[in-house]
Structure 1
Amino acid sequence: MPNLNDIMEMMDALETKAVVSIPTRCVAVRNRHSTCQKCIDACLADAIHIEKNELEIDAGACVACGACIAVCPTSALISVDPMEEELAAAVAATTPAADGATVIACARKAARQVGDPDKYAVVPCLARMDERLVVELAARGVVDIQLVDGVCATCKYRGAVPAIDDTVASARELLGAVGSDTVITRTSEFPEAVRVADLQKAVGAARREFFTSTGHYAKDVAKSAAEKMVNEKLKQLKLQKEEQSLRDKLGVKNGAGKMPTIDAERNMEILDALARIGEPVEEEMFTRIFGDVEVDVEKCSGCGMCVMFCPTDALRKSLDVHPDKARAYMEFSMAECTQCNLCADACLKKCIEVVPVVSLAELFDFEPRLVEISASKSGNKLFNRNK
Structure 2
Amino acid sequence: MGLLDKWVESLDYQYEVLASCTRYKSPRSTCQRCLEVCEHNAITFENNHPLIERDKCIECGNCIAACPVQAVAGIFPKRTVIQNKLLISTDSLPTVKEMLILFKKGVREIIYEDSSLTGTLKERVEEVNLILNQLGEETFFVLNNAFEKTEEVYSRREIFSLWKRESQSFMKQVTPANWRFNHKQLDVTKFYPSYQFTNISLNPDKCTLCKACELLCEKKCFSKLETTFSIAAQSCSSCRLCEDICPENAIRVEEHISAVKEIHYPIYKKQCSICREQFETLREHEEQCVSCTKRKGFLSF
TM-score over 0.5 for the pair = yes
C-alpha separation between the residues in 2 aligned to 1:270 and 1:9?
34
Deviation sequence 1:42-75 (CA, Å, 0-9, x none): 1222211233253311122224443323321112
Deviation sequence 1:321-354 (CA, Å, 0-9, x none): 1xxxxxxx32222221010000010111111110
- For 1:382, the equivalent position in structure 2 comes to none
Contact 2:190 2:235 in 1 (8 A): no
C-alpha separation between the residues in 1 aligned to 2:236 and 2:58?
30
Q: One-letter code of the match for 1:182?
A: T
**SS of corresponding position for 1:25:** coil
Sort the Cα spacing of 1:30 and 1:64 in 2 relative to 1 into closer, same or farther, 3 A. Answer: same
Deviation sequence 1:112-162 (CA, Å, 0-9, x none): xxxxxxxxxxxxx11xx2344423443344432245657269xxxxxxx6x
The one of 102, 108, 114 aligned to 1:143: 108
- For 2:296, the equivalent position in structure 1 comes to none
Asked if 1:175 corresponds to 2:132, the answer is yes
The Cα shift of 1:371 comes to 4.2
- For 1:37, the equivalent position in structure 2 comes to 32
C-alpha separation between the residues in 2 aligned to 1:357 and 1:222?
36
Sort the Cα spacing of 1:138 and 1:263 in 2 relative to 1 into closer, same or farther, 3 A. Answer: closer
Sort the Cα spacing of 1:220 and 1:53 in 2 relative to 1 into closer, same or farther, 3 A. Answer: farther
C-alpha separation between the residues in 2 aligned to 1:36 and 1:165?
28
> Higher strand fraction: Structure 1 or Structure 2?
2
**SS of corresponding position for 2:247:** coil
**SS of corresponding position for 1:335:** coil
C-alpha separation between the residues in 2 aligned to 1:51 and 1:359?
37
Q: One-letter code of the match for 1:353?
A: R
The Cα shift of 1:169 comes to 4.9
The higher radius of gyration belongs to 2
Sort the Cα spacing of 1:67 and 1:265 in 2 relative to 1 into closer, same or farther, 3 A. Answer: closer
- For 1:7, the equivalent position in structure 2 comes to 7
Sort the Cα spacing of 1:359 and 1:309 in 2 relative to 1 into closer, same or farther, 3 A. Answer: same
- For 1:192, the equivalent position in structure 2 comes to 145
Sort the Cα spacing of 1:45 and 1:141 in 2 relative to 1 into closer, same or farther, 3 A. Answer: closer
**SS of corresponding position for 1:50:** strand
The Cα shift of 1:7 comes to 3.2
- For 2:256, the equivalent position in structure 1 comes to 357
Asked if 1:102 corresponds to 2:67, the answer is no
- For 1:315, the equivalent position in structure 2 comes to 222
Structure 2 unaligned residues grouped into runs of 5+: 155-161, 269-279, 282-288, 292-301
C-alpha separation between the residues in 2 aligned to 1:166 and 1:309?
36
The Cα shift of 1:105 comes to 1.6
> Higher helix fraction: Structure 1 or Structure 2?
1
Mapping 1:293-308, distance limit 5 Å:
293-308=200-215
TM-score by length of structure 1 reads: 0.55
TM-score by length of structure 2 reads: 0.69
The Cα shift of 1:311 comes to 1.4
Sort the Cα spacing of 1:43 and 1:207 in 2 relative to 1 into closer, same or farther, 3 A. Answer: same
Sort the Cα spacing of 1:178 and 1:352 in 2 relative to 1 into closer, same or farther, 3 A. Answer: closer
Q: One-letter code of the match for 1:173?
A: L
The Cα shift of 1:165 comes to 7.7
- RMSD (Å), alpha carbons: 4.0
The Cα shift of 1:8 comes to 3.0
**SS of corresponding position for 2:8:** helix
Q: One-letter code of the match for 2:144?
A: P
Identity across matched positions, percent: 21
Contact 2:40 2:56 in 1 (8 A): yes
Q: One-letter code of the match for 1:332?
A: I
- For 2:237, the equivalent position in structure 1 comes to 338
Deviation sequence 1:241-295 (CA, Å, 0-9, x none): xxxxxxxxxxxxxxxxxxxxx97861343315xx6xxxx8xxxxxxxx8322111
C-alpha separation between the residues in 2 aligned to 1:352 and 1:264?
28
Sort the Cα spacing of 1:42 and 1:81 in 2 relative to 1 into closer, same or farther, 3 A. Answer: same
The one of 158, 162, 165 aligned to 1:217: 165
Mapping 1:234-313, distance limit 5 Å:
266-271=187-192, 290-313=197-220
Q: One-letter code of the match for 1:179?
A: G
Q: One-letter code of the match for 1:269?
A: K
- For 1:369, the equivalent position in structure 2 comes to 263
Structure 1 unaligned residues grouped into runs of 5+: 108-124, 154-160, 197-204, 234-261, 281-288, 322-328, 363-367, 380-387
Sort the Cα spacing of 1:220 and 1:146 in 2 relative to 1 into closer, same or farther, 3 A. Answer: closer
- For 2:272, the equivalent position in structure 1 comes to none
Contact 1:46 1:61 in 2 (8 A): yes
Sort the Cα spacing of 1:26 and 1:295 in 2 relative to 1 into closer, same or farther, 3 A. Answer: same
Deviation sequence 1:162-206 (CA, Å, 0-9, x none): xx7886455223311243332254xxxx72243x7xxxxxxxx88
The one of 55, 67, 70 aligned to 1:72: 67
C-alpha separation between the residues in 2 aligned to 1:4 and 1:76?
29
**SS of corresponding position for 2:248:** coil
C-alpha separation between the residues in 2 aligned to 1:208 and 1:263?
24
C-alpha separation between the residues in 2 aligned to 1:219 and 1:142?
16
Sort the Cα spacing of 1:303 and 1:140 in 2 relative to 1 into closer, same or farther, 3 A. Answer: closer
Q: One-letter code of the match for 1:297?
A: P
**SS of corresponding position for 2:187:** helix
The Cα shift of 1:79 comes to 4.6
Q: How many pairs are equivalent?
A: 262
Contact 1:31 1:53 in 2 (8 A): no
